[in-house]
Amino acid sequence: MENPDLEAERGRRLLEESAEIVLVLDDDDRVIVASRRARETLDGLVLGERVPPDLLQPEPWRPRRVLLEVDGRRESLVWLREPGDLAAYEELRAGFTAAVSHELRTPLARLLALLETASLPSVKIDELLEQGKAEVEQIRELIDDVLFLSELETDRAVVSLTSTRAAPIVREVLDGFSENAIRAGITLGAELDEEADVPLRPRMLRVVIGNLAENAIRYAGDGATFSMRVSRDGDETVITAADDGVGVSDEDLRRLFERFYRSDRARASRGTGLGLAIVKHIVTSAGGRVEALSAPGHGLEIRIAFPA
């Protein structure tokens, strides 16, 4: 049986480090414990004293209370939500839904046009079928990316919980893109520290490297070189993905990691606009940071750093 003191300490730390506003109240609504965010957010909160009454009203904090009994004492576990949190979430959700709908509408419209064309006399059915397959593939890719992003957001544990040697994964992924790179006129290269680890599951690292490579193959331009570098810099492991292609503008650079954002030049491609957003979400969920550097005509560099 587990040590009760250890179990109690684990529970205390879990509550203390919660990103939410959480309170434990006694039967008279006096504050027994408060999470760090609760102490930093709520004015008038004093341990051992009654919680300010307005915090327990339906608005604006929308409290959710769970009754407990601990060693014969009645207590309450109370979650509070900051005013505006729900509205901001709903706005984000509505915007994301609208963006997905818009991105699906374009290939669906093209597919419908192809089907209508197929009924005309003297059409080349084989060519129409190939075009139709390409549209269906783009729809499938978009749906896969949306579902994957949803998986990341609902369970961050799928991202890390382990450490992975980076070099073998980078080689594996770049090898898989070799034919696509040749067709696009892109030269692939790598400079790898064989001992460098990153705090990602192998699957997540493959997604990061794959999305970076695919972005370069699609947008760097014919004749460009794309290189992946993995190195250790002090107490960090750094992954650098750089090409010497056409680069992006300052405006595009600021929005590069936004969901569904694509520059005017990129809109002609069949990308989903989610690749770099997924990269950023994976990296930040694992405690890393990501930044993009570019100048038009001088290529794009994406730099990822993880604490060692």
Q: Which domain holds residue 135?
A: 85-154
Q: What are the tens digits of pLDDT across the range 10-36?
A: 667 777 766 678 888 888 889 988 888
Whether residues 10 and 123 fall in one domain: no
Q: Are both 269 and 284 inside the same structural domain? A: yes
Query: What CATH number did the domain enclosing 266 receive?
Result: 3.30.565.10
Count how many domains the chain has. Answer: 3
Cα distance between residue 158 and residue 170, in whole Å: 20
User: Could you tell me which residue, 129 or 95, shows the higher pLDDT?
Assistant: 129
Given 128, 154, 180, the domain boundary residue is: 154
What pLDDT score does 157 carry? 53
Q: Are residues 165 and 146 in the same domain?
A: no
Average pLDDT, the chain: 79
Task: State the pLDDT at residue 305.
Answer: 94
Residue 116 shares a structural domain with residue 146: yes
Output the CA angle 223-225-226, nearest 5 degrees: 140
Please compute the mean of the pLDDT values over residues 146-162 and round it to a whole number. Answer: 60
Question: Which of 136, 154, 172 lies at the terminal end of a domain, its last residue?
Answer: 154
What whole-number distance in Å separates Cα of residue 280 and Cα of residue 211? 11
Query: Contact, 175 vs 257, CB < 8 A?
Result: no
User: Would you place residue 102 in the very low, low, confident or very high pLDDT band (cuts 50, 70, 90)?
Assistant: low
C-alpha 299: how far from chain center: 24
Which residues lie below 8 Å from residue 257, measured CB to CB, with a gap of 6+? 276, 277, 279, 280, 290, 292
Residues 210, 256 within the same domain = yes
Q: Is the pLDDT of residue 95 over 60?
A: no
Task: Give residue 194's pLDDT.
Answer: 93
Confidence at residue 84, expressed as pLDDT on a 0 to 100 scale: 53
CA dihedral for 215, 221, 222, 224, sign (positive or negative): negative
The predicted-structure confidence for 233-256, as pLDDT tens digits, reads as follows 888 999 999 999 988 888 788 778
> Per residue in 175-227, pLDDT tens?
999 999 999 999 999 999 999 999 887 878 888 999 899 999 988 889 999 99
CATH of residue 126's domain is 1.10.287.130
- DSSP string of 101-134, one letter each residue: HHHHHHHHHHHHHHHHHHTSTT--HHHHHHHHHH
Predicted structure pTM score? 0.54
Residue 185, CA atoms < 13 Å, CB-side half-sphere: 8
Segment among 39-53, 78-92, 126-140, 246-260 with least mean pLDDT: 78-92
Residues 303 and 168 in one domain: yes
pLDDT in tens, 30-76: 998 888 888 878 878 888 899 888 888 877 777 888 887 777 788 88
Quick one: 130 and 240 in the same domain?
A: no
What pLDDT sits at residue 39? 85
C-alpha to C-alpha distance for 223 and 104, rounded to whole angstroms = 32
Pair 15, 97 in one domain: no
Q: Is 197 left (phi over 0), alpha (psi -120 to 50) or beta?
A: beta
For 248-282, the pLDDT digits (tens) are 888 788 778 876 665 544 444 455 567 788 888 88
Same domain, 135 and 248: no
Quick one: pLDDT band at residue 165, thresholds 50, 70, 90? very high
Q: Within this chain, do residues 224 and 237 fall inside the same structural domain, yes or no?
A: yes
Q: Is residue 23 located within the same domain as residue 149? A: no
| Residue 284, both tokens | 């930040």
Residues 205 and 233 occupy one common structural domain: yes
